[in-house]
Amino acid sequence: MQEGGSRTARMVAAWRARAGVDEFADALAGPSGHADARAYDVAQPHMEIYLATRTRWFDDAVRAAIAAGTSQVVLLGAGYDTRAMRLAHDGVTYYEVDHPRTGAHKRAALAALEGYAIDAARYVGCDFERQDFVEELAKAGFDAAQPAIVVWEGVTYYLTEAAVRATLARVATLGPATRLCFDIVSKRFVAGRVNDAADLEARARVAQMGEPLRFGVDDVLPLLYEAGFRHVRTTSFDEACLDYTGTYDRARKLRFQTLVEARVGRFFHGDGAPA
C-alpha cells in the first residue's frame, strides 16, 4: 500500500493492530506507522493499552446505540476508522466524514484489503474550513429526524478551541435523539505544564509530525452546556481501563485523557428513550 495521509492516524492504526482490536489496522498503518509507534513508545510505553481502551470504549458506545435502535453512525474526522466494517449491522448506515484527500487515500488503501467491503460506509468529503459537515451529511442521505450516534475519536486536541466549539454546536442541532461520543485531553498537558520529561517528549513528537496539540479542557461540562447539550457523562481512561482489564497502574499515565458522552435531550437510565 502506498503510504500517505496523516502520520498520527497511521501511528494509531499501528497500536490498534498490536493490541488486536482492529483486524484491518496493520495494513492501514504501514511500515512508517509502525515505525512512528515504536519511536513514540520510548516516551509513552503504554500507548498500546491506551488505544485498546479507547477503541473498545467507542466500539461499545456504537454497539449500545445500535441496540437501542440507532440506525445512523457518523464517524466525524474518520481517519482510518474501520467500524463500518467491523461493527456492520443490518439496517445501520455508516457515514465517514473527512477531508476529500484523506477519504480518497483511505478508500484506495481499503480497496487493497482482502475481506473489506469498500461500500461498508458512505464517504462524505468535507473541507471543514469551507463546508458545513451537517449539510454535507444531508446530501449523503443522513436523516436528522432519526436517531444517530456521532463518533469523534482522537480529533479534538488537534483543533483550535473555536473549531471544537463550532463542531459541538453543529452536532447539537442534529436533535435530542443524537448521541455524541468523543475524547479530550487536559489543558495542562496540551500547554506543556507538566513535570514529566516523557510527557513533554510525547507532545513534541506529534508536533514534529506536523500535528501539534492545540486544545485541552479540564472540565468539559460548561463547554457542552454552552453548545446546547443537557446530558453529559465523563469517564477517565483509568476508569475505563479498570473496567476492561481489571487493572490499574498509575505509571500508565492515562490521567490526562477523558472519554465523553453527550446528548442534547435528557434520557431515562437504561432504555435510551428521550425523557
- Predicted confidence (pLDDT) at residue 163 exceeds the cutoff of 90: yes
Q: Do the Cβ atoms of 185 and 193 come closer than 8 Å?
A: no
Which pLDDT score, from 0 to 100, does residue 267 have?
55
Is residue 175 in some structural domain?
A: yes
Is residue 106 in some structural domain?
A: yes
Residue 58 lies in domain: 7-263
Is residue 271 in some structural domain?
A: no
Q: With residue 93 as reference, give the H or E element that holds it.
A: strand 93-98
Q: Do the Cβ atoms of 211 and 156 come closer than 8 Å?
A: no
**Nearby residues of 274 by Cβ (< 8 Å), 6 or more positions away:** 176, 177, 265, 266, 267
Is residue 87 in some structural domain?
A: yes
Which pLDDT score, from 0 to 100, does residue 3 have?
58
pLDDT classification of 274: cutoffs 50, 70, 90: very low
Which pLDDT score, from 0 to 100, does residue 4 have?
58
Among 102-106, 138-142, 171-175, the range with the most confident prediction by mean pLDDT is 138-142
Number of domains in the chain: 1
- Dump pLDDT digits (tens) for 25-44: 998 999 999 999 999 999 89
Which pLDDT score, from 0 to 100, does residue 268 have?
46
Q: Do the Cβ atoms of 60 and 83 come closer than 8 Å?
A: no
Is residue 1 in some structural domain?
A: no
Is residue 2 in some structural domain?
A: no
Q: Residue 9 — φ and ψ, nearest 5°? A: -65, -40
Is residue 148 in some structural domain?
A: yes
Is residue 52 in some structural domain?
A: yes
Greater confidence (62 vs 27) lies with 62
Mean pLDDT of the chain: 91
Which pLDDT score, from 0 to 100, does residue 232 have?
96
- Dump pLDDT digits (tens) for 125-148: 998 878 999 999 999 999 999 999
Q: Do the Cβ atoms of 149 and 174 come closer than 8 Å?
A: no
pLDDT classification of 273: cutoffs 50, 70, 90: very low
CATH number at residue 26: 3.40.50.150
Share of the chain above pLDDT 90, in %: 75
